[in-house]
């Protein structure tokens, strides 16, 4: 059987943690930042862990990660 190709977009956006959860960067810090409060920007800066149910979808896109 040939190998399954990994999804190129998912490779760039998601990282697997040591415990098997998926880590990703929160959206909303690229442009139009002037009306945002500083507190909101600080909360978006930190990476987040994905919901386990959504993580199953990512696992299918990245079979060897």
H or E stretch covering 23? strand 22-24
d(C-alpha 35, C-alpha 14), whole Å = 28
Query: Is residue 34 domain-resident?
Result: no
Contact 24, 47 (CB under 8 A): yes
Residue 65, pLDDT > 90, answer no
65 or 13, which is more confident: 13
Q: What is the dihedral of CA 18, 49, 12, 63, to 10 degrees?
A: 60
Domains identified in the chain, total number: 1
Range of the domain at 47: 12-25+39-65
Query: Is residue 7 domain-resident?
Result: no
Distances in whole angstroms, Cα of residue 35 to Cα of each of 1, 38, 41, 49: 53, 9, 10, 26
pTM: 0.83
Q: What is the pLDDT of residues 6-56, one digit of tens each?
A: 999 999 999 999 999 999 999 999 999 999 999 999 999 999 999 999 999
Query: Is residue 48 domain-resident?
Result: yes
């Amino acid at each position: 059987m040939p190998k399954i190709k990994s999804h190129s977009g998912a490779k760039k956006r998601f990282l697997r943690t040591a415990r098997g959860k998926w880590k990703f960067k929160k959206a909303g810090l690229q442009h139009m930042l002037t009306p945002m409060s500083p507190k909101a920007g600080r909360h978006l800066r930190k990476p987040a862990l994905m919901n386990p149910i959504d993580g199953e979808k990512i696992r299918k896109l990245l079979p060897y990660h």
